[in-house]
Structure 1
Amino acid sequence: MTVPTPQAPRHVRAVAVQPHWSARDFTTPDAFRRWMRAQLEMARPHLRPGGVNLVVLTELNGLPLVLRGGGWALRLRTFERVALALFLARLPRALPVLLRERVSPIRALQLADIDANTELYLRTCRELARESGVYLCCGSAPMPRYARQGTVLRRAPGVLTNQTVLLDPQGNLIGVTDKVHLTPDEEAGGVDLTPGDLNELRVFPTPAGDLGVAISLDAFRADVIGSLAAQGCTVLLQPDANGAPWTSQEGLPPDPARVRDQPVAWLESSWQVTAQRQIPYAVNPMVVGNLLDLTFDGQSAITGPAEQAPSLRSYVLTDPRPGFLALAPWVTEGTPDELRQAGLDRAAHSGHPLENEYREDTLHADLTLPPATRPAPPRTPHEDALDALLRGEARAPRPGTWRAALPALPLLALPLLALALLRRRP
């Protein structure tokens, strides 16, 4: 009888990048490529030469591509005004989408150029994964659902989910995950995205770990974490874009008068997941910076078994605790009142000298993982389509024209469309 040889554990270097973004980073393809490349350059000193490296980028780092070609509109200073201006300027492309697919103006604005933006996003990420030789969690971006028809991709009408794409060091597609639980700013009153399906969540076995993705709010939800844990996830990836001052307070439903500090709430995501040993490790990068009138701030972290943490530490406004393998410091120290004021000083349109002064950072931690035993899940038609796009075997659909839609639109509807967009808060 042959006794199987035990497989050695895997050693992986996980890197979380905390970049500082601005609206100008998204107004041209070259600006976007520079911003994304800068993040991989931030990660480079943290990579283990000759080892397996996993780099995780932040949530919604493709959302502002809606600004591509719209640098002229940034002087309007708020996302609501900029979105209205861009919708009107792009009416020949956005209007047919709005009428044909029966979506809101803000979703139509995004879908009007989504094929070109998706291709720019994916090809940029593929190039960076190949150049750096890393497993890359691209962050996340609003993307449609595609199916391949020969050499052309067909987009599912009206669908626009918050998607994370995983690539291997050769730039090949590993898999795609949709965000299941949307925040109010992502729902119909905001950028109007489509929620993902809990039943479609999968774990992707790779040399960098059995990877499961819980985008931002999903990492707080027991149904998502339970599904990934049951499928054998060993490394949870939590790309994040927290749209508020980090030291502000949030209301607790169902009574909004009850409040708690945001860092206290954040302990209920990836740190809690690893502290309760539901999943061994978690990587949570967070983007910072003011995007027009929107504020993004946080502390990126990598968490894991308490016995592997070098010291007791935690987010600001919380008590030190075990389990943080790596943690980005916040921009300053002080009393709770001083910290809360410091967050407000840096927020968008504060007028304070420290407005938009946030901390860029890069973290890494070494993870010890069990040997992979799970087979890769079957690919979805959408993943097959994206893979064909990346390999150059298929192309995204070309934009349509608006002439066919004009007879269906009385001219009096134009002011109503503008009003509808104004009443939506991107």
Structure 2
Amino acid sequence: MTPTQQRPPHERYFRAVAVQPQWSAADFLSTEAFRAWMRSQLEMARPHLAQGRPNLVVLTELNGLPLVLRGVPLAVRTGTFERAAPVLFLCHLPRALPVLLRERVSPIRALELALSAESTRLYLETCRDLAREYRVYLCCGSTPMPRYRLKGRRLVRERGTLHNETVLLDPQGNLIGVTDKVHLTPAEEAGGVDLTPGPLEELRVFPTPVGDLGVAISLDAFRSDVISRLEAGGCTILLQPDANGAPWTAQEGLPPDPTNVRDQPVAWLESSWQATTHGRSIRYAVNPMVVGNLLDLTFDGQSAITGRAEDAPEPRSYVLTEPRPGFLALMPWVEEADDPERLREVGRHLAARSGYPRENRYRVGVLHADLTLPPGEVPTPPPTEHERALGALLRGEARLPTEHLLWPLFTLGGVLLLALRRKR
């Protein structure tokens, strides 16, 4: 770089990296398997990390959700999540049943809350260690997580609450902030994973050397209320961790208008691409998507890094859509045919339990783009009580106790005694 090309002293010059991994149930059966799967994603990213400038690595949505399978291979052998759920609940009955009765939540949420201490600790410590080892700013993806507060040196869980939550870490493994998903899909609501929607008013923007980060998890990036709030907060880098639970070339119709059925890639243009090409403050967006068949569920998509049309003038786009400016980097799909019916057929063949030779043969890979932003002006938001608790946990200054096992056993005994009395 010549002296005339030198950048302003406070200009932010960094690299964004999106990882598109493939998951399977086996990745979540043990602590070691989960750590290895998460580490493999940073290893995929390693050759794409820039030297001499900060790196932002963004992982995918709900990459901690299948930790409920940990230690129960029998649940995986059932083949479907519908059959696995009761097996998991029965295996963890002494811990899940008291949560069910005490907190008046569904069985699936009771199960997740009963296991949340171990899952949260494993997830956060794994991500912290990876951020430190690879020296990156890390958007950890997202995972189901309760709200916590500090009580002395212990984290205390808020009863009944379980958010789809993104955690942001700096290269020292310190907490930058967290964001909860506001708009849940039907699969995340009651009858599915049964998560708690996050409050819109709690969305904030986090200033960093890799941009003023705003997170819109999956469906949130399609919603104008979320994008408007992040733009009002000065967001310059939109992070959209994603897990699209359907064949990529299938059609969809989601709330608030389920009758608006269109090809998934067409719908996806209404998220990150639209936010960067038509928005105000948002200059770039990073949208990694996980692929792979997880038991009987199908996940597919095309990860992308988007920007303004003038930043990415080369026309290109998702399959089943017309080429257009705005894509700085785009993961090719498994096939680039011009025939829409051929693409839809390939999507069906990839899907879970299709029985075709191409079943589960998705494309994995890594995208990167070098990004530049002017000096930051966004103030650092004060940490929430929940963030203070997670920060203390990551620094080793507080512990996260598991659910007490004696009281669940007493509760279970009481329930059985009550049942026997009623029979008399």
Quick check: TM above 0.5? yes
Aligned twin of 1:421: none
Report the counterpart of residue 184 of structure 1 in structure 2. 186
User: Which one of the candidate residues 314, 319, 326 is aligned to 1:311?
Assistant: 314
Count of aligned residue pairs for this structure pair: 410
Which blocks of at least 5 consecutive residues in structure 2 are unaligned?
Answer: 1-7
1:347 and 2:351 correspond: yes
CA distance in 2, matches of 1:183, 1:41: 31
- What is the CA RMSD across the aligned residues, in angstroms? 1.7
Whether the aligned pair in 2 keeps the contact of 1:250 and 1:262 (CA below 8 Å) is: yes
- Number of the residue aligned with 2:158: 156
Per-residue displacement from partner, 1:255-311 (whole Å, max 9, x unpaired)? 756521000000000000001033111000000000000000000000001112151
Question: In structure 2, how many angstroms separate the alpha carbons of the residues matched to 1:252 and 1:218?
Answer: 12
Tell me the CA shift for residue 409 of structure 1.
2.6
Instruction: Report the equivalent of 1:403.
Output: 409
Give the Å deviation of 1:406: 2.8
How far did 1:350 drift?
Answer: 0.5
Conserved 8 A contact 2:94-2:412: no
The reply on whether 1:285 has 2:288 as its aligned counterpart is yes
Paired with 2:254 and 2:377, the residues of 1 have a C-alpha distance of 41
Q: Name the SS for the 1:211 alignment partner.
A: strand
- Alpha-carbon separation, structure 1, partners of 2:91 and 2:169: 35
TM-score normalised by length of structure 2? 0.94
Cα shift at 1:83: 1.2
Alignment of 1:54-73 (within 5 A): 54-73=56-75
Q: Which residue of 1 aligns with 2:233?
A: 231
Which residue identity does 2:293 align to in structure 1?
A: N
Q: Give the counterpart of 2:266 among 264, 271, 279.
A: 264
Partner of 2:341: 337
**Which position in structure 2 is the counterpart of 1:380?**
384
Q: Which letter does structure 1 place at the counterpart of 2:195?
A: L
What corresponds to 1:301 in structure 2?
Answer: 304
CA contact (8 A) 2:250 2:344 kept: yes
Give 2:79's aligned residue. Answer: 77
1:393 aligns with 2:401: no
Deviates more, 1:256-265 or 1:388-397: 256-265
Q: What is aligned with 2:327?
A: 324
Deviating 4+ runs (over 3 angstroms): 252-258, 410-414
SS in 2 for 1:338: helix
Question: Is the Cα–Cα contact under 8 Å of residues 252 and 260 in structure 1 kept in the other structure?
Answer: no
Amino acid at match of 1:384: R
What amino acid maps onto 2:129 in structure 1? Answer: E
Counterpart in 2 of 1:418?
Answer: none
Please give the alpha-carbon distance, in whole angstroms, between the structure 1 residues aligned to 2:417 and 2:212. Answer: 54
1:210 Cα deviation after fit: 0.4
Letter of the 1:204 partner, please give it: F
For 1:110, the equivalent position in structure 2 comes to 112
3-state SS in 1 of match to 2:319: coil
**Partner SS, residue 405 of structure 1:** helix
1:203-236 Cα offsets, whole Å, 9 max, x none, are 0000011000000000000111000001110000
In the TM superposition, what is the alpha-carbon distance from 1:189 to its structure 2 partner? Answer: 1.4
Q: Distance in 2 between matches of 1:355 and 1:304?
A: 33
User: Helix, strand or coil: the match of 2:105?
Assistant: coil
Q: Any residues of structure 2 matched to 1:15-94 within 5 Å, and which?
A: 15-94=17-96
Letter in 2 for 1:380: T
